[in-house]
Amino acid sequence: MEKEPKISNALRNIAILSDLLPLILFLFFAKSKKNVGLRVAFLISLYSIVVNFFILSNRHFWQYTFVIGRFTTIVEFSLFSFLFYRIIVSSYFKNGIAIIFFLVNTYLVYTLITFSKTLYDSVPVGITAMIFFIYCIFYLFERVRDASSLFLYSSPDFWVVVAIIIYSAGTFFPFIFAQSNLNKPDFDSEYILIHSTLYVLKNLLLCIAMLTKDKTQTASYSIPKKK
Distance in angstroms (rounded) separating the CA atoms of residues 205 and 99: 29
Band the pLDDT of 4: cuts 50, 70, 90: low
Q: Which residue has the higher pLDDT, 119 or 50?
A: 50
Distance in angstroms (rounded) separating the CA atoms of residues 87 and 160: 11
Residue 190 near residue 55, CB atoms below 8 Å: no
pLDDT on residue 218: 46
Band the pLDDT of 11: cuts 50, 70, 90: confident
pLDDT on residue 150: 57
Band the pLDDT of 148: cuts 50, 70, 90: low
**pLDDT at residue 37 above 90?**
yes
Q: Determine how many CB atoms are found less than 10 A away from the CB of residue 217.
A: 12
Residue 159 near residue 153, CB atoms below 8 Å: yes
Nearest partner of 129 among 164, 83, 162, 180, judged by Cα: 164
Nearest partner of 80 among 127, 112, 141, 33, judged by Cα: 127
The fraction of the chain above a pLDDT of 90, given in percent, is: 54
Q: Which domains does the chain have, with CATH numbers?
A: 3-222 (1.20.1070)
Query: Any long-range contacts for 177-183 (C-beta under 8 Å, 24+ apart)?
Result: 177/122, 178/120, 178/122, 179/120, 179/121, 179/122, 182/120
Alpha-helical (H) ranges within 88-184 are: 91-114, 122-145, 156-181
pLDDT in tens, 168-178: 999 888 888 77
